[in-house]
Amino acid sequence: MKTKLTLDFIWIPASLGGHGAVPYTGMRLTIRWQRYIDAYLQCTRDIECSSLNYDPKTLHGTATYFFASNEPVPSEWLRNGELVELLNGFRVLAVGRITKPA
């Protein structure tokens, strides 16, 4: 069973290096924990958006994601309040925090 998590996030506009489009259900991104940068450098983890509530006026949203692989994620990484970044290649598309652990 794939791990699920819910995030509150702010979408970074293209003018600041983010994505040219708004987030969408089915969008696949890489997740990076701000606290665990060293682990990210050794192994990246992809997630896919399964549900989304996004306000393009404020750039704020809440989304539920599933990890693309079944590889386990350390439970301490999934705690409420952990800070994350959502990336596409080298671009940071959003920053947020986990609001509902797996």
What pTM does this model have? 0.90
Q: Is 78 left (phi over 0), alpha (psi -120 to 50) or beta?
A: alpha
pLDDT of residue 101: 57
Which pLDDT value is given to residue 7?
A: 97
**The pLDDT value given to residue 70:** 87
Q: Cite the DSSP H helix spans in 1-73.
A: 37-42
Q: Which residues of the chain have pLDDT under 50?
A: none
Q: Which residue has the tokens 């609001």?
A: 99
Shortest CA distance to 96 belongs to which of 31, 2, 9, 19?
A: 9
pLDDT given for residue 23 in this prediction: 96
What are the tens digits of pLDDT across the range 12-26? 999 999 988 899 999
Q: Which residues contact 54 (CB under 8 A, 6 or more apart)?
A: 11, 22, 23, 60, 61, 62, 63
pLDDT (0 to 100) of residue 72 = 85
Domains recognised in the chain with CATH numbers: 4-100 (2.40.30.10)
